[in-house]
Structure 1
Amino acid sequence: MDPIVEVVALLLGFLGWVMVGIALPNRYWKTSTVDGNVITTSTIYENLWMSCATDSTGVHNCREFPSLLALNGYIQASRALMIASIVFGTFGLVAALVGMQCSKAGGENYVLKGRIAGTGGVLFILQGLCTMISVSWYAFNITQDFFDPFYPGTKFEIGEGLYIGWCSAVLAIAGGSCLTCSFHYNMKIARGTAYSHAPSRSVAASTYGRNAYV
């Protein structure tokens, strides 16, 4: 596997993993501004864990969602997907570090190290997919309520936390794809090289004949 591709893929996966950690606790997954006079103008914003409100004077209050079972299904699913994304990314980073050629971990067995790195690439892809599904599903519900003329509640808009999540998903998928594709490409080259150096049966037979009867 090309060491440069490994390093680039590791950096992309690491950045994606860090951005997941930033997006998950970010409070601005969806925002709504209620216009009024100087005192009554307020901003409401929510994420997967709490709902907050702040007024024009800078005073803000937050309350955590009181019950997990009382939440909408997409919020529960988004929580699970984001946590799974962090877990996949953590194991992906460990596998990528162990599988890199410049790493001393795993010994000198480069075939095994390549397979470990390829596994890390798959884990990065899973991380990106979990993040992408979570933030896209959350954004879909925001836009669905926003454009529904009969929706009675507060209409929110997409917040910065979702954009961070989308960027994280793209980076993780790109890094995982680089690791996985590079691993498969190098395995094909290795197999082709092994077959090209293997002696044919006719050559082996002729050599045996010369050794036996000459």
Structure 2
Amino acid sequence: MRPFEGKALLVATHNAGKLAEMRALLAPLGITVTGAAEAGLGEPVETEDNFLGNARIKARAAMEATGLPVLADDSGISIDALDGAPGVYTADWAETGQGRDFGMAMERAWRELEAVNAPLPRSAQFRCTLVLMWPDGHDEVFEGVLPGQVVWPPRGAEGHGYDPIFMPDGHQITLGEMTVEQKNSLSHRARAVAKMMEGSFA
């Protein structure tokens, strides 16, 4: 596994919540983090049907545009009773044409679970795939999974995305009810970052 020796990373996301989470997770390394929007980059079209493929698309587009080392994330919620949906389409379920509405996306997830009369607990996983790409195109891949269940109604105003309806295994509150510190200690993204630190940042 190639070690990362730089002191700056471009994080290929336009999602402010993800960027803030990445900054917090990488802070102990003393690495300067810049987001894709801050760098003036557009969003590439994600054409793959899996997290790794889409993360690589985002990483390569940002690396080729800037010549910088890039960290890209593709992540989402996979609900077992919906055959893994929304999965790579997690953000797409929130699209309205005037921005993303995750309240609408959460309602859709619960509505579809009700439609198939999914038994309780309604198990799901948050999944994250990170691609760390160097300017020469070499990359390393790290994955994190957080198992839990979908609950209703939404609870909590913290976090982002589907956090208010996801209760991690072993907890009685949703990600949306957790503090930033609580979430960052156990999230799927935190688990992927921890693997990256053990590998390329060891």
The question of a shared fold, defined as TM-score above 0.5 by the shorter chain, is answered with no
Which structure carries more relative contact order (alpha carbon 8 Å, separation 6+)? 1
TM-score, reference length from structure 1: 0.25
Structure with the larger helix share: 1
TM-score, reference length from structure 2: 0.26
Structure with the larger strand share: 2
